[in-house]
Amino acid sequence: MNPHFNLSLPIAIGCDHAGVDYKIAIKNYLQQKGYVVNDFGTNTKDSVDYPDYAHAVANSVESNLVAFGILLCGSANGVCITANKHQQVRAGLAWNNDVAKLIRQHNNANIICLPARFIALPLALEMIDNFITTAFEGGRHENRVNKIACC
């Protein structure tokens, strides 16, 4: 497993209606830093079904079309549960910087899920920076990560 993301690939981002404002801000932030961002929606605050957007991001991660994914919804639980149905996805729910780092270091997460209704935008941006720059440690964690997928 690659300990670092291939940042020559785009970054996938998606959300439901609760995460639209954060998604737009995060996308702009990443683009200003020079990253290409594939936006899988939604782009409206009208109620939508979060699995539609979580599956789109997870499919792009699973197909190696992007470096990693970012998912947002109110609590981040729905998008995290949905994304983790994909065998090659390890989505982690982060609510502080330590967790954002640990889901990379110990779990080799390839999608970060953020609870838009429970964190401030500056913290979300910090967590994304930490997620991007933290490498998977491998070692004792690699054997555990290799046991996650069901097939």
What is the set of active-site residues?
73, 106
Question: What are the DSSP calls for 42-73, one per residue?
Answer: ---SS---HHHHHHHHHHHHHTTSSS-EEEEE
Contact (Cβ atoms closer than 8 angstroms) between residue 17 and residue 45: yes
Using CA atoms, how far apart are residues 111 and 92, in angstroms rounded to an integer?
6
Burial of 9-39, coded b for 16+ CB within 10 Å and e otherwise, reads: bbbbbbbbbbbbebbeebbebbeeeeeebbb
β-partners of residue 92 are 112
